[in-house]
Amino acid sequence: MCGIIGYIGPKKASQVILSGLQKVEYRGYDSAGMAVFDGSKVSVIKDAGKLGAIHAKHDFLKLEGGIGLGHTRWATHGLPCERNAHPHADCSGKVAVVHNGIIENHRALKEEMVKKGHHFSSDTDTEIVAHLVEQGMNDGRSAEAAVRAAVARLDGAYALGILIAGTNALYLARRHAPLIIGQGKAGEMFFSSDIPALLEYTRDFILLNEGDVARIDPRGAIVWGADGHEAKRETLHVDWTPQMAAKGGYEHFMLKEILEQPAALSSAVSADVSAALPILRASKQLALVACGTSYYAGLVFQYLMHRQGKPCAAYIGSEYSSWTTGQEDVLIAVSQSGETADTLGAVRLAKEKGAKIIAITNVVGSTLSREADVTLFIGVGPEVGVVATKSFTGQLCVLCKLAYTLGANKQGLADLKQIPSLSAKILEGKHADIQKLAKAFIKRRDFFFIARGINYPCALEAALKLKEITYLHAEAYPGGELKHGPLSMLEKGVPVIALAPAGPLAPKMESNIKECKAREAELVVLSDDEAMRAEGARSLLMPTVPPELVPLYYILPLQLLAYHMTVLADKDPDQPRNLAKSVTVE
Ligand code: F6R
Residue by residue, pLDDT tens for the chain (586 residues) are: 788 999 999 999 999 999 999 988 887 788 999 999 999 999 999 999 999 999 999 999 999 999 999 999 887 787 888 999 999 999 999 999 999 999 999 999 999 999 999 999 999 999 999 999 999 999 999 999 999 999 999 999 999 999 999 999 999 999 988 899 999 988 999 999 988 889 999 999 999 999 999 999 999 999 999 999 999 998 999 988 888 878 888 999 999 999 999 999 999 999 999 999 999 999 999 999 999 999 999 999 999 999 999 999 999 999 999 998 888 999 999 999 999 999 999 999 999 999 999 999 999 989 999 999 999 999 999 998 999 999 999 999 999 999 999 999 999 999 999 999 999 999 999 999 999 999 999 999 999 999 999 999 999 999 999 999 999 999 999 999 999 999 999 999 999 999 999 999 999 999 999 999 999 999 999 999 999 999 998 899 999 999 999 999 999 999 999 999 999 999 999 988 888 877 877 7
Ligand 1 test: best mutation among 26, 252, 293, most atoms within 8 Å of CB? 293
Residue with CA at minimum distance from ligand 1 atom 16? 335
- The domain limits of the chain are 3-244, 247-417, 426-572
Does the Cβ of 584 fall within 6 Å of ligand 1?
no
Ligand 1 test: best mutation among 254, 291, 335, 367, most atoms within 8 Å of CB? 291
Q: Which pLDDT score is estimated for 79?
A: 84
Q: Name the E strands within 500-549.
A: 522-527, 540-541
Do 247-417 and 426-572 have matching folds?
A: yes
Residue type, 179: L
Helix ranges (H only) for 25-142 are 51-58, 106-115, 127-138
Ligand 1 center from residue 291 Cα (angstroms)? 6
281 burial type by CB count under 10 A (0-12 exposed, 13-18 middle, 19+ buried): exposed
Does the Cβ of 6 fall within 6 Å of ligand 1?
no
Q: Which pLDDT score is estimated for 349?
A: 96
List the helix and strand counts (H, then E) for the chain: 19, 25
Query: In the CATH hierarchy, which fold is given to the domain comprising 247-417?
Result: Rossmann fold (3.40.50)
234 burial type by CB count under 10 A (0-12 exposed, 13-18 middle, 19+ buried): exposed
∠ CA 382-385-389, nearest 5°, is 80
Q: Which pLDDT score is estimated for 484?
A: 96
Does the Cβ of 395 fall within 6 Å of ligand 1?
no
Convert the pLDDT of each residue in 413-427 to its tens digit. 999 999 999 999 999
- Is residue 399 a contact partner of residue 304, using CB atoms and an 8 Å limit? yes
Q: In a 3-state reduction of DSSP, which class is residue 444? A: coil
Convert the pLDDT of each residue in 86-107 to its tens digit. 999 999 999 999 999 999 999 9
Dihedral angle, C-alpha 568, 572, 573, 577, nearest 10 °: -120
Convert the pLDDT of each residue in 251-280 to its tens digit. 999 999 999 999 999 999 999 999 999 999
Helix ranges (H only) for 38-160 are 51-58, 106-115, 127-138, 143-152
Ligand 1 center from residue 308 Cα (angstroms)? 27
Ligand 1 center from residue 76 Cα (angstroms)? 18
Does the Cβ of 367 fall within 6 Å of ligand 1?
no
Q: In a 3-state reduction of DSSP, which class is residue 306? A: helix
Ligand 1 center from residue 392 Cα (angstroms)? 9
Q: Rounded CA gap, 269 and 89, in Å?
A: 48
Q: Which pLDDT score is estimated for 580?
A: 80
Distances 469 to 259, 268, 491, 533 between C-alpha atoms, Å: 18, 26, 24, 27
Q: Rounded CA gap, 428 and 449, in Å?
A: 23
Does the Cβ of 291 fall within 6 Å of ligand 1?
yes
Ligand 1 center from residue 149 Cα (angstroms)? 35
**Which superfamily does CATH assign the domain made up of 3-244 to?**
Aminohydrolase, N-terminal nucleophile (Ntn) domain (3.60.20.10)
Q: In a 3-state reduction of DSSP, which class is residue 289? A: strand
Strand order in 374-377's β-sheet? 312-316, 286-290, 330-335, 356-361, 374-377
Does the Cβ of 583 fall within 6 Å of ligand 1?
yes
What are 121's strand-pairing partners?
none
Residue with CA at minimum distance from ligand 1 atom 4? 292
Ligand 1 center from residue 313 Cα (angstroms)? 19
144 burial type by CB count under 10 A (0-12 exposed, 13-18 middle, 19+ buried): middle
Q: Which pLDDT score is estimated for 27?
A: 78
Does the Cβ of 206 fall within 6 Å of ligand 1?
no
Ligand 1 test: best mutation among 257, 316, 337, most atoms within 8 Å of CB? 337
Does the Cβ of 294 fall within 6 Å of ligand 1?
yes
Residue with CA at minimum distance from ligand 1 atom 11? 292
Residue 91 annotated to the active site: no
Residue 458 annotated to the active site: no
149 burial type by CB count under 10 A (0-12 exposed, 13-18 middle, 19+ buried): middle
Q: Which pLDDT score is estimated for 24?
A: 83
Residue count (the chain): 586
Q: In a 3-state reduction of DSSP, which class is residue 338? A: coil
Query: In the CATH hierarchy, which fold is given to the domain comprising 426-572?
Result: Rossmann fold (3.40.50)
Nearest to 194 by CA among 202, 554, 212, 186: 202
Residue with CA at minimum distance from ligand 1 atom 7? 387
Q: Which pLDDT score is estimated for 517?
A: 95
